[in-house]
Amino acid sequence: MTGAELVLDARNATGESPVWRAQQAALYWADIPRGLLQRWQPGQGAATQWQLPQMLACMAGWQGDPHRWIAGLEDGIYQVTLGDADSKGDSDGEARTERLAAVAHAMPGMRFNDGRCDHQGRFVAGSMLMDMAAAQPVGKLYRFGAEDMAGGSAQDLQLGPLITPNGLAFSPDGRTMYLSDSHPSSQQIWAFDYDTDSGTPHNRRLFVDMKNLPGRPDGAAIDVEGCYWICGNDAGLVHRFRPDGRLDRSLALPVKKPAMCAFGGTSLDVLYVTSIRPEGIDLSDQPLAGGVFALRPGVSGGEEPEFRPL
């Protein structure tokens, strides 16, 4: 195991939702407030970005189409289609968006936050009030599958109250769902039994209380051993928890606010980590804040599930 390696000095305001797409050997991620979808191709050393019309919070690949994504933006769930960049892959491309489902937020100033697909190809994503200081428990968790496309509506999974839903992940067999609330007043991670037929979580129980550990629970990933990796925001760490909730290890990063992690690389044995570059504070002790990093944790992950439109 080695230390964190800088992949790209991206200087993202809020780098989130990293996804490795094996067919392109490329890492994609979002910079939420700038509405950017970004790509880095290790084999070419090339970085590309696409500008979206709203903040982009979370995304998952679209099965059968390497240029298409399902994504949570500000006011709903969207299909995003990426146009080609130049042949070298180092210039910006164009993106087309189509709203698949509008969401009636409880308050103005809300957007989607963390999200991904379950093993059956349904998109699951949470919403939050952007003003975290307000600490309003108005966040919800939604599910959107192929059966919802005709009606154009996402299903509210009724898991509130949530302030900042985060840390969404599924066990290797897809039968356990993990979810956190990263707000400073909560910092809880829960596990649920997940009905893979209906896409319904139930039997909620406390998995980890992060108030007793360094960092707030942010974005997460699962490895092939069923262990849960979650970014310890504010602590510069990525924690690995065993399925019974025991802390197994913590890996350090050269930035204080890692945001989300994802397995990638040819053998899915690289843990990529996006991060946040806060405004208005002295960053002399963390000049790489907002960068994308790679860790080699000695274990691999599974392929990220993609959205199944049919």
The neighbour count for residue 294, using CB atoms within 10 Å, is 18
Is residue 304 in a domain? no
**Residue 200 in domain:** yes
Classify residue 138: in a domain, yes or no: yes
Residue among 52, 6, 61 at smallest CA distance from 33:
52
Residue pLDDT, tens place only, 45-58: 889 999 999 999 99
DSSP 223: B
Total domain count for the chain?
1
Q: Is residue 306 part of a domain?
A: no
Domain CATH number, residue 52: 2.120.10.30
Which pLDDT score, from 0 to 100, does residue 92 have? 79
Domain that holds residue 190: 5-295
The answer to whether residue 300 sits within a structural domain is no
In a domain, 49, yes or no: yes
pTM of the model: 0.96
Mean pLDDT of the chain: 95
Q: How confident is the model at residue 1 (pLDDT cuts 50, 70, 90)?
A: very low
Which has more pLDDT, 310 or 275?
Answer: 275
249: pLDDT strictly greater than 80: yes
pLDDT in tens, 55-95: 999 999 999 999 999 999 999 999 999 997 654 444 578 89
116-142 pLDDT, tens digit per residue, is 999 999 999 999 999 999 999 999 999
